[in-house]
Amino acid sequence: MKFYKGLAIRGLEGNVLCFIVSKKQSEKADINGIPVKAIEEISLDEKSIICLAVHEVLKAQIEATVKKHGIGNYIWIYPYLFELVLGPPLKRNIEVPLTKILKRCDDYRIAIRYLAIENYFGKNSIGFRIYEKAQAAYCGEKTARKRTEKFCELIDNWQINGYDSGKVIMIDDNYEILDGTHRVAVAQYFGDKVIKCDVFKNSPVFVEWTGETALMSRKTIWDLALTNEEIKAIENIYQFIKEKR
């Protein structure tokens, strides 16, 4: 739906022939009048393409399903998603002081990820639980667990190899994070001073597109059914990061 909303912002929603799922639905379904079909029900002409509109942790699984059905005309949308919605960046691959980004982050996205990093290193026992509750606010529980596994890989690689400057994050020209919050949190934890970024023009379209839930405002974390202990932990880390930035 996030991809579809991005297409709609660009006036391209009319190009969507159908939404495709892995298993046949028990009843006919549609989204905004566009049919939902099982992959075995579709037939593509040479001008059609399947867009894999999934998070990185699901990409390999979905790609395998598509290949199993003999479909080669597909693309994973993530590398192009932000430019689709926001247009090309103003600047690419520039070094930005981490403090400038942290100063603009007044929500709890960094704090929640920082707690998970501490949990990874045995400094608390609740960070991953909080992280998965936050992820599950906008994805399924199974995907949230897979995101935890991917996050652990990122932390482990960073600890062993240091910062990978080839993996840029995306910010706007007000230093607001658009994508790459995990990498910002890990960079903060390991004491990195600068991080490579693509810089986009600030646009109100971004919040409309992503939704408020993903930004982890105070209202959002209160809606996560967190315990008092978990909320207190988030607040404490938030203040800790705020004092350091």
pLDDT, position 117? 98
**Where residue 23 falls among pLDDT bands split at 50, 70, 90?**
confident
**Where residue 219 falls among pLDDT bands split at 50, 70, 90?**
confident
Q: Is the pLDDT of residue 1 over 90?
A: no
Relative orientation angle of helices 141-161 and 56-68, to the nearest 10 degrees: 110
Angle 90-184-110 from CA coordinates, rounded to 5°: 120
pLDDT, position 215? 74
* Chain segment 82-134, per-residue pLDDT in tens: 999 999 999 999 999 999 999 998 899 999 999 999 999 999 999 999 999 99
Is-contact 200 86, C-beta < 8 A?
yes
Angle 173-177-183 from CA coordinates, rounded to 5°: 130
Backbone phi and psi for residue 135, each to the nearest 5 degrees, phi listed first = -65, -40
pLDDT, position 236? 95
* Chain segment 27-64, per-residue pLDDT in tens: 778 988 999 999 988 888 878 999 999 988 889 999 99
pLDDT, position 20? 94
Report pTM.
0.88
Is-contact 101 175, C-beta < 8 A?
yes
* Chain segment 142-165, per-residue pLDDT in tens: 888 889 999 999 999 999 999 999
**Interacting residues of 132 by C-beta distance below 8 A, sequence separation 6+:** 141, 144, 145, 147, 148
pLDDT, position 74? 94
pLDDT, position 229? 95
* Mean pLDDT rounded to a whole number for the chain: 91
Bridge-partner residues for 20, per DSSP? Answer: 37
Residue among 69, 78, 61, 99 nearest 2 (CA):
78
Q: Is the pLDDT of residue 25 over 80?
A: no
Q: Is the pLDDT of residue 220 over 90?
A: no
**Where residue 188 falls among pLDDT bands split at 50, 70, 90?**
very high
* Chain segment 3-12, per-residue pLDDT in tens: 999 999 889 9
pLDDT, position 175? 96
pLDDT, position 127? 97
Is-contact 110 182, C-beta < 8 A?
no
